[in-house]
Amino acid sequence: MKKTNIDFGKKIELTSYRKISIASWKHPRDPSIYATLELPVESALAFLETTADDTPLTLTHYVTKIIAHCLHRYPEINSVLRWGNLYQRKEVDVFITTLIKSNKGKDLSGFIIRNADKRAISELASFSKQRVDDLRRNRDPEHIKVQQVVDPLPTKLLMPILLFKEFVQFTLNLSFPRLGLAKDTFGSVMITNIGALGIDNAFIPLSPYTRCPFFIGIGKPKLSAVVEGDQVVPRKTVTLSFTFDHRYGDGAHLSHTIRLFKKIFLNPEKYPEIFAGTSEKPTEAPST
């Protein structure tokens, strides 16, 4: 007599992102490098408050601007893996994930900011607000296209489609916007503000169909005990998680980037040109 291994309840209706996730991952073959930073956040929040213009500035905008500059400074990790070789990107583009509501529940989408290293932080904030509004009001054309393709398909059929899409876009380096294959959808680095969900810290997994090697999670700021000199004092801190694809570099590459990130994060007033988008031009990348 057969016995069930697990007693199941009802089948769960899948959102678009959940279907894509299930179709993406197979058995673990994980090249991830993980790192965290727990940093005092009071100076960053004060800087954002005094710098804000028409649109309020958030830690997401702050982290986006800093990591874009870091990738500008260390362009060797701003690359794409194709045909077994790494090709340096000519631009620093940042993808920001966004939680939205759908008729099936909460879903995950996002948008890309092109040339984030060249933009002022106020411009990043204004652009982000518009894109988030479009996504949450279901008037973003790229997200609508994804829903139209993904929602009717069973997960098993979606797997080969995602593999084919990845091959065409990244290995062959082709773009067909009319067919829903938008140009370089995910960019150089992806950022998720997990603090908006009330989470202090979590590592973001690499997403195989994006060819994006770098993910950052921004935790919820919290009150922590911090050692200053020989005293323990209460300070508001934030935990930042970094996930990096080991195939794109080693610990040395990641450590250089994180050290520069930390330096700017803790002392924003010393780097006005970075947040104004007026830092030096990026290093020229070789042609692909």
Give the Å distances, CA to CA, from 155 to 105, 136, 164.
18, 25, 15
| Structural contact between residues 186 and 95, judged by C-beta atoms closer than 8 angstroms | yes
Alpha carbon distance 204, 261 (integer Å):
18
Which pLDDT score, from 0 to 100, does residue 282 have?
A: 45
The tens digit of pLDDT for each residue in 133-174 reads 999 988 888 888 888 888 888 988 988 988 888 898 889 898
Domain ranges of the chain: 41-268
The tens digit of pLDDT for each residue in 10-25 reads 777 877 877 887 787 6
The tens digit of pLDDT for each residue in 223-245 reads 998 888 899 999 999 999 999 99
The tens digit of pLDDT for each residue in 61-118 reads 999 999 999 999 998 889 998 888 889 999 999 999 998 887 777 888 999 999 999 9
Q: Which residues contact 37 (CB under 8 A, 6 or more apart)?
A: 239, 240, 242, 258, 261, 262, 265
Q: Which residue has the tokens 């995602």?
A: 162
Which pLDDT score, from 0 to 100, does residue 286 have?
A: 37
If you average pLDDT over every residue of the chain, what do you get?
87
Q: Which fold has domain 41-268?
A: Chloramphenicol Acetyltransferase (3.30.559)
Alpha carbon distance 214, 188 (integer Å):
7
Strands, DSSP E only, in 59-134? 79-82, 85-88, 94-102, 105-113
Which pLDDT score, from 0 to 100, does residue 195 have?
A: 95
Full-model pTM: 0.85
